[in-house]
Amino acid sequence: MKDAFNSSTIFADACREAERLRLNTGNTYGDKIVADIYDNAESIAKKTVRHDQVLLNWDKKLDDILTSRLFGYPIMIALLGIVFWITIEGANIPSEMLGNLLFAFGDQLTEWFEAAGAPAWLHGALVLGLYKALAWVIAVMLPPMAIFFPLFTALEDLGYLPRAAFNLDHLFKKCKASGKQALTMCMGFGCNAAGVVACRIIDSPRERIIAMLTNNFVPCNGRFPTLIAIATIFAGGSLTTQYSTAAAVFIITVLVLLGIALTFAVSWILSLTVLKGQPSSMVLELPSYRKPQICSIIYRSMIDRTIFVLKRAMIMAAPAGAIIWILANTYIGELSIITHLANWLQPVGYALGLDGYILLAFILGLPANEIVVPILLMSYLSTGQMMDYDSLDELRNILISHNWSWLTAVNTMIFCLLHWPCSTSLLSLYKESGSKKWTLAAFLIPTGVGVAVCFLIAQTARILGLV
């Protein structure tokens, strides 16, 4: 019975692959060879294998919908949107609870330092700097990843992700990249570092490097809170709650599509320049649909992905928190080093439609995107320690009081989307590629694109007198 079931599965896979390849085969010899192989496999299977026609028809009907040119993309976008919505909505309360718990322990640490008579600078650097940065990263990163990665892994276990890669294969082939890059790109929405590690599934070294260099163009969960907050404040601030949310969702969707478009564009440019080559034929088995294995999903998503990425982020964020506190509390004359640096960066920030404090917050937020807004609020309010906001109204008042306009909001969101990868992603890329050259390229490419786009928008808006 087991052999008969396996034979039936092989037959179903062969038939499904043969039909998909006949419909979507490209013009390369590799594609034609693969199509012929599956055609022959189908003809042999029909003669020698007894199969379950009901099971085969069910899989075939689903594939006809999920991989069709009419329904494939809308379903893929809808599923991705549902995963994002569940992640964002589901992570809000756990993030708040975890943050309250960690910051309450920070208050306890303060009491212990005071009881021990520790000097103020030591308490500031270790508790208000190092520990607070660590608490922010854990509170903001852990709940979304603990939701996103299991959902993503469940889609993989169910058998849908190979269909999504199949749908995007021909688009990536036009960019002379690998269709499997679709999977690594989707993984980047959860965490760009995880997306970089996922590039191991791409066999071609050239295409693997392209996927790693462009993974940062899709926003990770560390950037989503910033994007959502700014979009909600400036896109729907004067609208009712219902329309405000709709406006914010629309803007986030546009930004995500912009990131995907830039992924294709930069992949194509790299394939024509420094990483020339032809796309490899993607022989992707479309497995039968199957019931997800809960234990396997939990282990792979939590241990192999969530804990792995969180550990690297904590290693990077902890010392950065101490350094940021020192910069904010060390004064030269009447101004802190933070203020001096922001004033020095002001001309560059203005040219990009930002200001010096915003640009500095992104620079100091290199270890983790989650701490960019706390650094910005600390700098604006001169509190000496990273700050959070209690409500969007409070954040709106702070930003507007510091001369934010629609141009500042738009370019901050675009720069948040396109700026350099966090240090965790860069470390992962260096470990995966083993090359300092490609790690530097991964830093410079999105930075160059982000600077160019923000500069063009800012100068165009000023020339047209829109600000």
Q: Could you please report the per-residue DSSP string of 310-356? A: HHHHHHHHHHHHHHHHHHHH-EETTEEHHHHHHHHHHHHHHHTTS-H
Contact 189, 241 (CB under 8 A): no
Q: Which of 106, 26, 459, 68 is nearest to 283 (CA)?
A: 26
For residue 4, is pLDDT > 50? no
Q: Which of 210, 156, 159, 158 is nearest to 187 (CA)?
A: 156
For residue 395, is pLDDT > 80? yes
Largest distance between two CA atoms of the chain: 88
Both tokens of 231, joined, read 């979009």
Under 8 Å CB-to-CB from 265, ≥6 apart: which residues?
175
For residue 73, the model assigns a pLDDT of 83
| HSE (side-chain half, CA atoms, 13 Å) at 409 | 23
In whole angstroms, give the CA distance from residue 7 to residue 385: 64
**Cα-based angle 361, 357, 310 (whole degrees, multiple of 5):** 10
| Residues paired with 331 in a beta bridge | 336
Q: What percent of the chain has pLDDT over 70?
A: 83
Contact 456, 348 (CB under 8 A): no
- Average pLDDT value for residue range 396-421: 92
Contact 180, 284 (CB under 8 A): yes
For residue 5, is pLDDT > 60? no
Contact 222, 141 (CB under 8 A): yes
- Average pLDDT value for residue range 411-434: 92
For residue 6, the model assigns a pLDDT of 44
In whole angstroms, give the CA distance from residue 144 to residue 393: 24
- Average pLDDT value for residue range 133-154: 83
For residue 25, the model assigns a pLDDT of 47
Under 8 Å CB-to-CB from 352, ≥6 apart: which residues?
359, 411, 415, 451, 454, 455, 458
Q: Is the torsion defined by CA of 427, 92, 392, 227 positive or negative?
A: positive
Both tokens of 194, joined, read 């995880």
Q: Which of 137, 8, 154, 30 is nearest to 86 (CA)?
A: 154
Per-residue model confidence as pLDDT tens digits over 269-297: 999 888 887 766 656 666 777 777 788 78
For residue 314, the model assigns a pLDDT of 82
For residue 1, the model assigns a pLDDT of 39
For residue 239, the model assigns a pLDDT of 44
For residue 432, is pLDDT > 50? yes
Backbone dihedral angles phi then psi of residue 160, each to the nearest 5 degrees: -80, -40
Kind plus residue range of the DSSP H or E element containing 5 = helix 2-24
- At 453, the pLDDT band (50, 70, 90 cuts) reads very high
In whole angstroms, give the CA distance from residue 230 to residue 234: 6
**Bigger pLDDT: 26 or 161?**
161
Under 8 Å CB-to-CB from 439, ≥6 apart: which residues?
426, 429, 430, 433
Contact 213, 196 (CB under 8 A): no
For residue 34, is pLDDT > 70? no
Both tokens of 74, joined, read 């809308």
Q: How many CB atoms lie within 10 A of CB 246?
A: 14
Under 8 Å CB-to-CB from 6, ≥6 apart: which residues?
none
Both tokens of 131, joined, read 């520990």
SS (H, E, C) 167-213: HHHHHHHHCCCCCCHHHHHHHHHHCHHHHHHHHHHCCCHHHHHHHHH
- At 22, the pLDDT band (50, 70, 90 cuts) reads very low
pLDDT, averaged across the chain: 81
Q: Which of 299, 302, 294, 312 is nearest to 149 (CA)?
A: 302
In whole angstroms, give the CA distance from residue 345 to residue 341: 6
Per-residue model confidence as pLDDT tens digits over 84-137: 778 777 877 888 888 889 888 988 998 999 888 889 889 988 888 889 888 888
Under 8 Å CB-to-CB from 336, ≥6 apart: which residues?
327, 328, 329, 330, 382, 384
- Average pLDDT value for residue range 255-263: 90
In whole angstroms, give the CA distance from residue 90 to residue 407: 31
**How many residues are listed for the chain in this entry?**
467
For residue 55, is pLDDT > 60? no
For residue 154, the model assigns a pLDDT of 85
For residue 3, the model assigns a pLDDT of 42
Q: Where are the domains of the chain?
A: 2-63, 74-463
For residue 2, the model assigns a pLDDT of 37
Contact 91, 228 (CB under 8 A): no
Both tokens of 43, joined, read 């003809």
